[in-house]
Amino acid sequence: MARAFTPKIVTANALIEGDVIYLTADDTWSRNHADAELITDEARAAVRLAFAEAQQDFLVGAYLADAVEGDAGPAPTHFREEFRSVGPSNYNHGKQVEQNNV
């Protein structure tokens, strides 16, 4: 029996910078997880992923990631996505520059 569809977001990496990016509802890309479009329909998720995969001149490795509705927008449900959302951990750069607790 197939598993029930759970809410997803589309994520990838920016081709040039390598930053983690998220597809927004208005067809733009954000580096903030909370800006991502939370997709609750399996057919729409497939369409949105195909839209992302067609942008090979801008991104690499697009995929659907599980998410839930959070207080400020979609929130990751898996450690991997939580880790990706805060950026590299080897030293303070990228998203971590603005955080005091890293």
- What one-letter code names the amino acid at 13? N
Q: 61-98: per-residue pLDDT in tens?
A: 999 999 999 999 999 999 889 888 887 655 555 666 66
- What is the sign of the dihedral through the CA atoms of 30, 33, 34 and 39? positive
Q: How far is CA 18 from each of CA 15, 63, 78, rounded to the nearest angstrom? A: 6, 15, 21
Predicted confidence (pLDDT) at residue 60 exceeds the cutoff of 90: yes
pLDDT score at 51: 98
Q: What confidence tens digit (pLDDT) does each residue in 5-33 have?
A: 999 999 999 999 888 999 999 999 999 99
Decide: 48 and 9 in contact? Cβ < 8 Å. no
Q: If you average pLDDT over residues 32-40, what whole number do you get?
A: 96
Do β-strands 59-70 and 73-76 pair in parallel, antiparallel, or remain unpaired?
A: antiparallel
73: nearest Cα among 44, 45, 39: 39
pLDDT score, position 71 = 92
